[in-house]
Amino acid sequence: MLYLGPSALKQPAGKQQDPAISDWQQYYQQQAEHSLHPLLQQFYQAGMVGADTPISQVPLLALDIETTGLNPANSGIVSIGLLPMDLTQIYASKAQQWLLKPRFSLSDESVTLHRITHTDIEQAPDLSSVLPQLLKLMAGKVVIVHYRGIERPFLHAALSARLGQGIYFPVIDTMALEARLHRRKALSLWQQLRGKQPLSIRLADSRLRYGLPPYRPHHAVTDALACAELFRAQLATRFSPDTPVSQLWC
């Protein structure tokens, strides 16, 4: 994932907002009927669990995307990492990572963060070549991310450009789960005047609160693993295996 500072947590100007989908199962059924591209038809035909399904019975997939910037309108995907998981195990042996040639040029800031250079992507494939495998792995899964403002909007924009239709899928945002606990109450004026800062809910800082070890940041499959571990820690600490997925996803 790509963070360039505090502004990364805000919605970039001109960035499309996610639609408000209250019933993902029904949405998938509708899209399976109306999607025109075969890849998207197959993706939605896999279906989605109902909102009342206990999280212990939900197929999960941790996902991280490295990008050239923050706005999918003028930035592209340079790397994707994912791995399947459930509440008992993270299947690291089934992890996948792709290095991709983005539709937009690398920025100096993105190279500094994820260390993917122009030379690295010179012979890299376009996202189109990995879409069949990527969508097959994502089909039927609820996706775990840390900050939903990256993975879903960027994949939607990327597929819109290549297939003529974007994609939406339910995500569980570990950053949002941390925000529920640590950002419920805004800082008072007195706290702000004293220079108090809101508690960080970034991935590395959130992991530290659960006693999880530090990993190298901004490496797609490693960030996906870090997010998967964080989610399991959040569930073990604050939720139960019987928690309906509707209380967690968006």
Q: Dump pLDDT digits (tens) for 12-56.
A: 444 555 677 989 999 999 999 999 999 999 999 999 999 999 999
pLDDT band, very low/low/confident/very high, at 120 (cuts 50, 70, 90):
confident
Asked if the model's pLDDT at residue 4 lies above 60, the reply is no
pLDDT given at position 5 = 39
pLDDT given at position 199 = 81
Residue in this structure with the two tokens 């290549």, named with its chain if needed: 162
Q: How far apart are CA 144 and CA 169, in angstroms?
A: 11
Asked if the model's pLDDT at residue 219 lies above 50, the reply is yes
Complete domains list, the chain, with CATH: 22-240 (3.30.420.10)
Which residues make Cβ contacts (< 8 Å) with residue 110, sequence separation at least 6?
2, 66, 67, 68, 69, 78, 116
pLDDT given at position 6 = 37
Tokens read off for 71 = 């706005």
pLDDT given at position 104 = 73
Which residues make Cβ contacts (< 8 Å) with residue 52, sequence separation at least 6?
244, 245, 246
Residue in this structure with the two tokens 């899209």, named with its chain if needed: 31
pLDDT band, very low/low/confident/very high, at 103 (cuts 50, 70, 90):
confident
Which three-class secondary structure state does DSSP give residue 5?
A: coil
Which segment of 144-153, 164-173, 193-202, 217-226 scores lowest on mean pLDDT? 193-202
Q: How confident is the model over 181-213, as pLDDT tens digits? A: 886 656 455 555 555 566 899 999 999 999 999
| First vs last C-alpha separation in the chain | 19
pLDDT given at position 170 = 98
Which is nearest to 227 in space by CA: 238, 240, 217, 237? 217
Instruction: Starting at the earlier edge strand, list the strands of the sheet with 96-99.
Output: 96-99, 77-85, 60-67, 142-145, 171-173
Contact 84, 144 (CB under 8 A): no
Percent of the chain topping pLDDT 70: 82
Q: Where are the beta strands (DSSP E) in the chain?
A: 60-67, 77-85, 96-99, 142-145, 171-173
Contact 106, 116 (CB under 8 A): yes
How many Cβ atoms from other residues are within 10 Å of residue 124's Cβ? 16
DSSP letter for 54, please: B
